[in-house]
């Protein structure tokens, strides 16, 4: 499952971060690293971007980028 598949209020643990070299580096620099727990806080009215909570801060991420992040869903 990818980060894009999570619904509002759901959490997931990052398994892998994919994408092209530049995108992957950017995602890693933003704190999206393997084993990080991420919760989906909001989804924009048109569905893109999504607002995430991780490592004590809020991050907005485009759905195309979220699709490159593989997660395992965590139980509520």
pLDDT digit of tens for each residue in the chain (76 aa)?
999 999 999 999 999 999 899 999 999 999 999 999 999 999 999 889 999 999 999 999 999 999 999 999 998 6
CA 4 distance to own-chain centroid: 7
Residue 47 is predicted with a pLDDT of 84
Q: How far apart are CA 39 and CA 25, in angstroms?
A: 21
Residue 17 is predicted with a pLDDT of 95
Number of structural domains the chain divides into: 1
Domain that holds residue 18: 3-74
């Amino acid at each position: 499952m990818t980060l894009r598949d999570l619904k509002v209020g759901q959490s997931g643990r990052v398994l892998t971060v994919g994408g092209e070299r530049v995108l992957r580096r950017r995602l890693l620099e933003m704190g999206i690293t393997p084993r990080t727990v991420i919760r989906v806080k909001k989804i924009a009215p048109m569905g893109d971007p999504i607002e995430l909570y991780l490592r004590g801060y809020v991050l907005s991420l485009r759905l195309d980028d979220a699709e490159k992040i593989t997660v395992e869903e965590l139980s509520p």
